[in-house]
Amino acid sequence: MYIRGVNSQGRFLDIFEVVEFDHVACSSSNGLEGTCLHEFDCQKVGGMVLGSCADGFGSCCVVQFSCDSRTSAPVGWFTNPGFPSPSSNRMSCTASIDKASRDITQIRLDFQSFEMLPPTGGNCEQDQFIVTGQNANNVIPILCGINTGQHVYIDVGHVEGPVNLSIQSITADNRLFSIKVTQLTPADDLAAPVGCIQYFTAVQGHLESFNYRDRSDTIVGKKPSYLNNLNYAMCVERRPDTCSITYTNAGAMQIVNFDNEGLPVIPPRQAGVEVFNCPTDWLLIAAVRLCGDRFNDGTVIQDFTLDAPVTDDSNGPVVVWFRSDSVYNGRGFKLQYQQNSCSST
């Protein structure tokens, strides 16, 4: 849009241009996703200009906060002190999130970077990521280890706020975290069904247990493992032209169960199915409990030493449950899912 003004003597002023552009995502100089805004608008929301966008007419605005911060920004980043470098200090670090409006019912956390010390025997003892202030019936598990690429949803529709995100550590090892905090109303595209800690909307993708990945700097004697005392739902948006969803093993699966004498319930390198094999630790897919060192429910291939696809063609929401006890834990799971068109089922 071009504007031309006239001064008090009736002479035309120089032509200048007011550029309008969409407030889309942009890449900032420190690797965090920002929003393309006018510089003045960025300052109003408490953000920092970390690059340009819209062919140089806009500013890549990033709202970034760290320890002892409080924000009501609709979108922002909770980062470790000194980010993008790791922090090597003991820390008690809390950021408080006020709801941007009364319409906010969820907060989505995307872990762009999440590298902390791993659990000990399934318990987060040295490092802890803790969420408080959410709905009383929406417990977010205490997390630690490597969770880069994961996400969680926090239900906040029945609380005024703030919601507190805390990192607690007791040693001086390196920690690196950059967590995108997005506030959501029920009308937002990213909004998840109530009660889903994770929500996937693509036709295909991966479901992965927390702390499944290897740490970037190896810790002697510490292997990736899932956490104790988990009980949560991973939900997949059913696409309108699909009638089933197929899961396949995409990694080294290990969901363990032991009897009262401390002996494995399932033989090594075999799949376990249902309550007898999977009494305490299990994935629930299509109302069937699955566990063990292989992914196979026995309906396709009855050789339990092999992995086999598992297809859910039931009606209703697509939900995968994971549960673990307070005693034993294994590597975890990484499943690839594929939604199937109705014409192929």
Does residue 203 sit in helix, strand or coil?
A: coil
Which of 61, 65, 12 is closest to 41 using CA atoms? 61
Q: What is the DSSP letter of 344?
A: G
> Cα angle at 20 between 19 and 21, to 5 degrees?
120
Q: What is the pLDDT of residue 18?
A: 54
Query: May I ask the CATH class of domain 63-191?
Result: mainly beta
| Contact by Cβ (8 Å): 177, 65 | no
Residue-range domain boundaries for the chain: 1-61, 63-191, 231-344
CATH T-level topology, domain 231-344:
Jelly Rolls (2.60.120)
Cα separation, 168 vs 157, whole angstroms:
26
Half-sphere CA count of 161, side-chain side, radius 13 A:
24
Cα separation, 337 vs 250, whole angstroms:
9
Cα separation, 88 vs 142, whole angstroms:
21
Cα separation, 108 vs 199, whole angstroms:
10
Q: What is the pLDDT of residue 55?
A: 84
Give this prediction's pTM. Answer: 0.89
Cα separation, 335 vs 245, whole angstroms:
12
Q: What is the pLDDT of residue 10?
A: 53
Q: What is the pLDDT of residue 5?
A: 44
Domains 63-191 and 231-344 belong to one CATH topology = yes
Q: What is the pLDDT of residue 154?
A: 98
pLDDT per residue, tens digit, the chain (345 aa), is 333 444 455 555 454 455 677 778 888 888 899 889 988 888 888 888 988 888 888 889 999 999 999 999 999 999 999 999 998 888 899 999 999 999 999 999 999 999 999 999 999 999 999 999 999 999 999 999 999 999 999 999 999 989 999 999 988 888 999 999 999 999 999 999 999 999 999 999 999 999 998 765 444 456 899 999 999 999 999 999 999 999 999 999 999 999 999 999 999 999 999 999 999 999 999 999 999 999 999 878 889 999 999 999 988 889 999 999 999 999 999 999 999 999 875
Q: What is the pLDDT of residue 212?
A: 96
